[in-house]
Structures are given as structure tokens and as C-alpha cells.
Structure 1
Amino acid sequence: MRVIYLLGAFLWPFASLAQTNPIRKQIDALFRQASAKPQVLLLGTFHFAGEQVDVNTTSADLRVNMLSPSRQAQIAEVLDHIARFKPTKIAVEAAPNAKKYIDSVYRAYRKGHFQGDKRVRMDDELYQIGFKLADRFGHSELFPIDAQPFRIRFSPADSLIMFTKYDQQTDTSFAYWDKQYSAYSRLQDLLKYNSTLGEYLRFLNEEATHARSIGRWLVTTKRGTNREPIGADGFISRYYNRNLRIYSNLQRLVTSLGWSSLAAH
């Protein structure tokens, strides 16, 4: 099936380029950076301690032991690559209200007195990437920038009742893409298990992988009806809202144009 959505538009006579070019140059000049921009390196990761909180829960037989000698060597290699960026601040996927605790255990880690606990496991990415990299550069603190989306924090009835209402909505595309993405999750776990850490992180940060991740959410936008477009609202209020909140937290870390940061997720 092919669908065309028509947008109406008015056609107006265009002024000559000779008249408009000087104006366009002035517009461009308004947004031209006179000095260097802050530099941010985003590193997408998986949950080193095992995917048990997101859409996919990794089966026990495919969980990677990040404390094994081979994986520790791979982590060291990844850290060497990231260190070339020379971050001045390191932001991590953790709740901002956990900063005091994270900084306290990070200080203990730097003194050799912290081997992980229930909140910051020794085998997770906060410890293995965040703590190790921050310590390498002599940082005194880390910056948690995670956020919960608006709809979970303020509208539990919307997320629970409305989604449940359309949970069994019949549509062949739902069944098809659920099957496709279930297979995709399993193959991701298999790829992660059989790849080096560097290889898998490169895969996670590829443009095609990002597109597939967004696609998983876009499939849900069809859920609901024209009067109750719960899928579309959920996509904006969960996926994009959370990411924009994280982005706003990251922006507030900028203190100078010469600043650089690593944001590990």
C-alpha cells in the first residue's frame, strides 16, 4: 500500500538572487560561531552487568563476564581510545540525586577502598568506564545526567491504563515487528557475546543501529485510534522526552567554550 499525504502551499514570486543574497548572508552571520564550540563525545554502551532493566533482558547463557581477564584487557583498550578525547568532565547514566553517593564511592575507589556494591556494581559500566576514566584524568567527581520521562513521573494513569487498553490491539504490523525486534534483540546478545568490547561498541554507535533503535519505538506510534493516539503520545512523552531531559542536563554542565565532556550511556 502506498499513501500520499498532501500539504497545501502557496507559491509566491521569488525575488532575484541579487536582492536576497545579502540578506541571507546576514542571516548566516547571526549563527556563525566566532569561537570554538564545546566538545561532547557520546558513548553508547550496553549494561555491562547484564541487560535486566530495559526492553531486552539478556538470558543468563549470553551474559558477558566483564571481570574476566580477556574482557578487562578489552576495557583497557577501549579506555585508551576514549582517553584521546581528553574529557574535562564525565557524565554518566545515573540519577542526578545519586551524585553525592556516586562521588563518595568514587573517592573510595580512588583510594583502593571500593570494590562495588548493590548500587554501583564492580562489573557495570559506571565502574569500569566512568570510574576508571575519571581516575585516569584525576577528576574529583562525575556528573549523573539521567532523567525519567514526563509521562512516568506525572501521569501513571496514562501509561498504565491507556496502554493496557490498546495492548491487545490487533494489527498485522504489530505482530510482524514484534517478531522482528525479538529476533533482533537475541542476535544483538549473540553478537555482544562473540565480539570484543571495542567491536560491539562500534556496532552500537553506528548510525544504522541508532535508526533501528528509534524504529522499535516508531512501531508503537500506530497504537491507539485517531481519537486516542496513545502510541504517538507515548513515543514523544517517553522516548524523546527522556532524551531531551538528559540533553538539558548535559547542557547545564557547560561552563566554558573550551570545555569537553564524555557522556557515557
Structure 2
Amino acid sequence: MKKLLLAVALLASSCLMPALAQFKKLGGREGRAQVLLLGTFHFAYPNADIITTDKADQLDVTSPQSQRDIARITSQMATFKPTKIAVEVRPEKQARLDSLYQAYLEGRYELGVGEEYQLGFRLAKQLGHLRVYAIDTWGNLDAYQKPGSKEFEVREDKAAEMEKFWEYMQATVKTRHEAEQKLAGKHPQTLYQKIKEMNQPEAIRKRHENYFREAFQYEAQPYDYTGVDWYSASWFNRNLRIFRNIQRITESPDDRILVIYGAAHIGPLQQAVESSPYHELVPANKVLR
């Protein structure tokens, strides 16, 4: 009986070796679900953030070069062997995401421009996944939001305060962003080069430190915490909620979850994954060769 149990154990161990070898090669340890955070720019340029862009001046993700780059990225992400792919779509839109993905599998849907489609759907189909997971959410803005509003609407008593804050943000953050974009324009990048650069440790660190700059230091009145509460605290709260959604789709230590998200989120999400007793971070730069 002992010999039989030993044989079964050895067989199970041999079956796990390829996956464990891959895990260890990418810097992981046994016993935790792996999470790979892939930071991207927003392919569809929705202009939903403080910084807006002119699509005409940006990379066209539908160009032949960009499509080759997207194929290259998905091919490299496939080497991670994800069991789940999560994207920046809110869970309440999961049914619509499922419907679009099913239509794509059946050849009834041409991929949308967004990274959730170009990267998420494309790779999920390649790997034979049944769905792509929606994990996005908002931060806690109860002190500023109208009670009961589904989309963010500023309370009347906070409207003037928020308008002044927004003007300040446009005058400071946007100016800095435009200077950075002008410098980057001197060294044009392909889509692959841009994504690869975004996922380097130093690039992640620099983006993360932005949340302790102008917005964090903003004070509506001397020594108050308007910038901390309105901008940075809600931002970190949002990312902790996103990580909670990552936890919710984690079903096994054998899970390998690929998270495709706006690059600004990678810093705080990375901290959450590294702090989690249930997860192990796989750095994207180890996979983007």
C-alpha cells in the first residue's frame, strides 16, 4: 500500500514539474496563485481620465505594424499559460462582455479597438478560455458623490471645491504630461516598444510616484487634506477594490491570472499582489522579451 501511495505521489509530482519549473523561472514560489499585471495605454483613447489625448497624434492600434505588435504581445503572454484573463471592465457589465466574447468566438463580432478586446479577447480565444473576467470598479467617493448616483456625480456642497481642484489639476498635471509627451515624441515608439517600456520596473515606479505629487499636495484650505482625500485616497481605495475582485476570481493556488489594465494602476496593484498571502507576482517584464 505504501509503495502504491509513493508511486501516485511521484506521478503527481512529475505532472506538476513543467508548471512549477515555469513558475520558478519567472520568480515565483510554490503554493500561491500567480498574477501577471500587464500595463497598457488605453487603445481606444476614451479620454475618461484627467489627461486627454488627440487620437490623431497617438499610435493607431489598427495599423498593420500595431497588429503585428499585438500578435507578438499575445504570443508572449501565452507563455505564462494564464488560466484566467481579467480586464478593465466593471463586473456589472460582465454579461455584455460575455455576449461579445461569445459572438467573437462564433465569428459574429469584429474585435473592438480597446485593449480588453485586442489583447484580452484575442488571447482568451487562442487559449480556449470560456470567458474574460471584468474586475474594474470605482473608489470610495461617498463624501463627494451624490447619494444613490450610479455614475459619479459631485454633491452640490462640494461642486465649487471640486471645480477649483479640477482647474488646478488641468494647470499642473496636464502641463507636466504635455512636457513628457513632447520629449517622448522625439523618440517615436511602436506599440510593442511602448508596452514593453511601460512594464519596466522603473517606469512603474515613476508612474506610481505621480500620486504623491501635485494632486496629493493640493489644499483647498491651509492644512486640510482635499488632495489626499479626493484624489490619492480614492485612487488607492479603487485599486484595493480592484484587487479584491482579483481575489474573487482566484479559485485555486494553480490559477495563473493575467490582468490587462491601464498602466497607472500597476504600481498599487503590484503592492497588493506582493502583500497577499494567496498570490505571487509574476513581473510582466520577465515575459515581454
Question: Is the CA contact (8 Å cut-off) linking 2:61 and 2:191 kept in structure 1?
Answer: no
Moved more, 63-72 or 245-254: 63-72
Secondary structure of the equivalent of 1:257? coil
Question: In 1, Cα distance between the equivalents of 2:186 and 2:81?
Answer: 30
- Amino acid in structure 2 at the alignment position of 1:208: E
| Structure 2: runs of 5 or more not aligned | 1-28, 146-153, 262-289
Sequence identity of aligned pairs in percent?
31
The match for 1:29 is none
Question: In 1, Cα distance between the equivalents of 2:39 and 2:190?
Answer: 15
Question: In 2, Cα distance between the equivalents of 1:145 and 1:153?
Answer: 24
Question: Is the CA contact (8 Å cut-off) linking 1:151 and 1:159 kept in structure 2?
Answer: no
1:1-265 equivalence runs, <5 A: 35-50=30-45, 52-116=47-111, 122-151=112-141, 155=145, 156-157=154-155, 160-165=159-164, 179-188=175-184, 190=185, 194-218=188-212, 219-224=214-219, 225-265=221-261
**1:175 and 1:94, CA in 2 relative to 1: closer, same or farther beyond 3 A?**
closer
Question: Is the CA contact (8 Å cut-off) linking 1:96 and 1:144 kept in structure 2?
Answer: yes
- Amino acid in structure 2 at the alignment position of 1:199: Q
Shift of 1:209: 2.2
The match for 1:20 is none
Question: In 1, Cα distance between the equivalents of 2:200 and 2:30?
Answer: 29
TM-score (norm 1): 0.74
**1:154 and 1:256, CA in 2 relative to 1: closer, same or farther beyond 3 A?**
farther
- Amino acid in structure 1 at the alignment position of 2:133: F
Question: In 2, Cα distance between the equivalents of 1:134 and 1:41?
Answer: 15
Question: In 1, Cα distance between the equivalents of 2:100 and 2:47?
Answer: 23
**Alignment root-mean-square deviation, CA:** 2.9
Secondary structure of the equivalent of 2:49? coil
- Amino acid in structure 1 at the alignment position of 2:99: S
**1:154 and 1:195, CA in 2 relative to 1: closer, same or farther beyond 3 A?**
same
Question: In 2, Cα distance between the equivalents of 1:95 and 1:149?
Answer: 12
Question: In 2, Cα distance between the equivalents of 1:195 and 1:239?
Answer: 29
Question: Is the CA contact (8 Å cut-off) linking 1:191 and 1:200 kept in structure 2?
Answer: no
Question: Is the CA contact (8 Å cut-off) linking 2:59 and 2:191 kept in structure 1?
Answer: no
Larger Rg: 1
Shift of 1:191: 7.2
Between 1 and 2, higher relative CO (CA 8 Å, sep ≥ 6) is seen in 2
The match for 2:266 is none
TM-score (norm 2): 0.69
**1:35 and 1:64, CA in 2 relative to 1: closer, same or farther beyond 3 A?**
closer
- Amino acid in structure 2 at the alignment position of 1:84: T
**1:35 and 1:213, CA in 2 relative to 1: closer, same or farther beyond 3 A?**
closer
Question: Is the CA contact (8 Å cut-off) linking 2:66 and 2:192 kept in structure 1?
Answer: no
Shift of 1:183: 1.1
Secondary structure of the equivalent of 1:151? coil
| Structure 1: runs of 5 or more not aligned | 1-33, 117-121
- Amino acid in structure 2 at the alignment position of 1:58: T
**1:166 and 1:90, CA in 2 relative to 1: closer, same or farther beyond 3 A?**
closer
Question: Is the CA contact (8 Å cut-off) linking 2:60 and 2:66 kept in structure 1?
Answer: yes
Moved more, 147-156 or 157-166: 157-166
The match for 1:31 is none
Question: In 2, Cα distance between the equivalents of 1:145 and 1:183?
Answer: 32
The match for 2:7 is none
Moved more, 197-206 or 209-218: 209-218
